[in-house]
Amino acid sequence: MNVFVVGIGLIGGSFAKDIKRVRPNVRIFGVDTNERHLEEALSLSLIDEKADYSRLAEADFVIVSIPVDVMVRELPIILEAINEDTIVMDAGSTKSLICKTLENHPNRRNYLACHPIAGTEFSGPSAAIEGLYQGKTNIICEIEKTAFKQQERALELFQQLGMRIRYMNPEAHDKHIAYVSHLSHISSFMLGKTVIDKERNERDIFDMAGSGFESTVRLAKSSPAMWTPIFKQNRENVIETLGEYIGNLKLFKKMLEEDDYEGIYNEMCNTNRIKEILNGIPLNKQ
Amino acid sequence: MNVFVVGIGLIGGSFAKDIKRVRPNVRIFGVDTNERHLEEALSLSLIDEKADYSRLAEADFVIVSIPVDVMVRELPIILEAINEDTIVMDAGSTKSLICKTLENHPNRRNYLACHPIAGTEFSGPSAAIEGLYQGKTNIICEIEKTAFKQQERALELFQQLGMRIRYMNPEAHDKHIAYVSHLSHISSFMLGKTVIDKERNERDIFDMAGSGFESTVRLAKSSPAMWTPIFKQNRENVIETLGEYIGNLKLFKKMLEEDDYEGIYNEMCNTNRIKEILNGIPLNKQ
């Protein structure tokens, strides 16, 4: 089996690692505009050789893991270059614009719209980790638009990688993901900003930071090049969730200003049930 | 050595575990209004026996780890009941009101105002963990108001537990800690609330949540009984930091509304330097 990974970073590189494990005879081709990343991927044995689009007709499986703005530009070109049996899947954090862009593509049936809910705050080939997808959810959109044979082969691979599958339409995906992923990133980035802005004058502040602070700002280490286009493509949903979050923070501030400690206590008690909810989430073990 | 732990939960219980490790001949006495916690602490061997204030004169060291509102009420009583050589330390997340309450106490010199920056989102005796304080910062306020002999003995113990010491005045402590701890908790609680409120109508949403979401809402599992009085005692500082945080979130929302993606990208790049800052934070290994 020939697998082409377009964009060989954390996501694509982790797919390469796991596919090599479950399909020992696979040959992995790396495609990337970043020559340094390609060399790194080769030296880490994530890929067997470097390639470009001219060889895409040799591909059985193409995994596209690049920023979502580049995805919209590149996926139509990739779909042109494949053979009739190739499966092309993406790993984009947004789905509406990507699916819309490809809806009338002549090879739409070779494409499977995916969002594997997995990752870390790091990026690049050296961030790739084995077993990243074990037990994680892979959201597939518009499954009915993918040819049956391609569906079947992709699902077989996902099962081997240990992924749970959920089907969803692109609009529902983008709406929900704004709450459970995009908002967390903004919350984290702005928390980091608030504290860093303060720290300019008060150098000692970070001596006082503990693991709770680290946990809430962890996502502020994420790649701006990857996240800016995600926020752009999911603009409406992100604005809505952000508005609700700001509203809740204002409510908390108002309760504090009005010395309504019973209200504060009750809000926290109600939110404590996040414990049970989180118990259902498959997490990275690292 | 006789150590009394008043409030035998995560913080007090973890002190008990570590002190037993470094001082094998210690005898640990547990004092708690929660009889179930006392029994649990006994069965977990966190304490050697249950006790009450009537035996405080036997104490060499008293660790007070109870909610900060109860602290303000109980510390003066505890300081009355000790002997002239006893050291009383607290582990409260606020320092100004506690120090102010004790400033004219006849036994003020037996008291050491501490805030060990360590913990998890869990609570109760079963949450106690060995090595919690290893490599963590212990902030000590108004060191000059504690008798030299007591200072010396306390610092020796902290060193054995592997703690780094920072000295600070109570007002600076409360101001800085609002940024690096109290704000993280509110951010996390309100993020949890925003998503839970949505989830009432959309059950599937949590299938989509990954480790990033888990990380940002982890602190929303924290105890409301412990955190409500912290926010109350540090009201002014928390209101200020919360105002700045809301301002930054509004700024982000405005950039999104105005399609200022360059601005968004730059904000994220500037905040990425949290990476280097976080590298300096001693974290829980679990």
A192 and A109 part of one domain? no
How far apart CA B260 and CA B117 sit, in angstroms, is: 39
H helices within B103-223, ranges in order? 148-160, 170-177, 183-199, 211-217
* ipTM of the complex as predicted: 0.91
Distance from CA of B146 to the nearest CA of A (A): 22
Chain B hits for A241, Cβ within 8 Å: 194, 198
| pLDDT value of position B211 | 85
For residues B1-5, average pLDDT:
97
pLDDT digits (tens, 9 = 90+) for A172-210: 999 999 999 999 999 999 999 999 988 765 566 777 888
Q: Chain A window 245-274: which residues touch B at a Cβ cutoff of 8 Å?
A: 245-246, 248-250, 252-253, 256-257, 259, 261, 264-265, 267-274
B206 pLDDT more than 80: no
pLDDT digits (tens, 9 = 90+) for B217-266: 999 999 999 999 999 999 999 999 999 999 999 999 999 999 999 999 99
A132 and A255 part of one domain? no
CB-based contact B180 A210, cutoff 8 Å: yes
Q: Is B222 at the interface with chain A, CB within 8 A?
A: yes
Distance from CA of B50 to the nearest CA of A (A): 30
Has residue A285 been placed in a domain?
Answer: no
Has residue B285 been placed in a domain?
Answer: no
Measuring CA to CA, how many Å separate B276 from each of A267, B67, B79, B281? Answer: 34, 33, 43, 10
B286 pLDDT more than 60: no
| pLDDT value of position A284 | 42
Chain A hits for B215, Cβ within 8 Å: 184, 215-216, 218-219
| pLDDT value of position B84 | 97
Candidate from A220, A274, A284 with C-beta closest to B274: A220
Chain B hits for A186, Cβ within 8 Å: 249, 252
A24 and A163 part of one domain? yes
Has residue B14 been placed in a domain?
Answer: yes
Is the pLDDT higher at A114 or at A282?
A: A114
CB-based contact A217 B284, cutoff 8 Å: no
For residues B63-84, average pLDDT:
98
Supply the mean pLDDT for chain B.
94
Chain B hits for A212, Cβ within 8 Å: 119, 121, 181, 184-185, 218-219
For residues B166-193, average pLDDT:
95
CB-based contact A189 B238, cutoff 8 Å: no
pLDDT band at residue B285 using 50, 70 and 90 as cut-offs: very low
Is the pLDDT higher at A196 or at A47?
A: A47
State the total domains in chain A: 2
Give the domain extent around A258.
173-279
Distance from CA of A172 to the nearest CA of B (A): 10
| pLDDT value of position B179 | 93
Has residue B214 been placed in a domain?
Answer: yes
| pLDDT value of position A189 | 96
B45 and B151 part of one domain? yes
pLDDT digits (tens, 9 = 90+) for A123-136: 999 999 999 999 99
Give the pair of three-digit tokens for residue A43: 């030296």
In chain A, pLDDT over 90 holds for what percent of residues?
87
| pLDDT value of position B201 | 57
B108 and B216 part of one domain? no
Q: Strand, helix or coil at A32?
A: coil
Has residue B17 been placed in a domain?
Answer: yes
pLDDT digits (tens, 9 = 90+) for A53-89: 999 999 999 999 999 999 999 999 999 999 999 999 9
pLDDT digits (tens, 9 = 90+) for A125-166: 999 999 999 999 999 999 999 999 999 999 999 999 999 999
Q: Specify the CATH number for the domain of residue B197.
A: 1.10.3660.10
Supply the mean pLDDT for chain A.
94
Chain A hits for B239, Cβ within 8 Å: 253, 256-257
Has residue A236 been placed in a domain?
Answer: yes
Is the pLDDT higher at B77 or at B119?
A: B77
Is the pLDDT higher at A121 or at A55?
A: A55
| pLDDT value of position A72 | 98
How far apart CA A3 and CA B109 sit, in angstroms, is: 71
Chain B hits for A176, Cβ within 8 Å: 202, 204-205, 208
How far apart CA B161 and CA A185 sit, in angstroms, is: 36
Cβ contact A60:A85 at 8 Å: yes
A162 and A38 part of one domain? yes
B150 and B224 part of one domain? no
Which of A151, A169, A187 delimits the end of a domain? A169
- Rounded to 5 degrees, φ, ψ at A63 are -110, 120
A286 pLDDT more than 50: no
- Rounded to 5 degrees, φ, ψ at B222 are -65, 160
Beta strands in chain A, from DSSP E residues, in sequence order = 2-6, 27-31, 49-50, 61-64, 87-90, 111-116, 137-141, 164-168
CB-based contact A228 B268, cutoff 8 Å: yes
Which of A146, A169, A192 delimits the end of a domain? A169
Candidate from B120, B220, B232 with C-beta closest to A261: B232
B63 and B78 part of one domain? yes
Q: Chain B window 177-206: which residues touch A at a Cβ cutoff of 8 Å?
A: 177, 179-181, 183-199, 202, 204-206
For residues A7-18, average pLDDT:
97
pLDDT band at residue B281 using 50, 70 and 90 as cut-offs: low
| pLDDT value of position A203 | 61
B61 and B96 part of one domain? yes
A132 and A186 part of one domain? no
For residues B153-167, average pLDDT:
97
Has residue B246 been placed in a domain?
Answer: yes
B250 and B207 part of one domain? yes
Chain B hits for A117, Cβ within 8 Å: 208-210
A200 and A163 part of one domain? no
Has residue B118 been placed in a domain?
Answer: yes
Q: Specify the CATH number for the domain of residue A156.
A: 3.40.50.720
Which of A169, A188, A212 delimits the end of a domain? A169
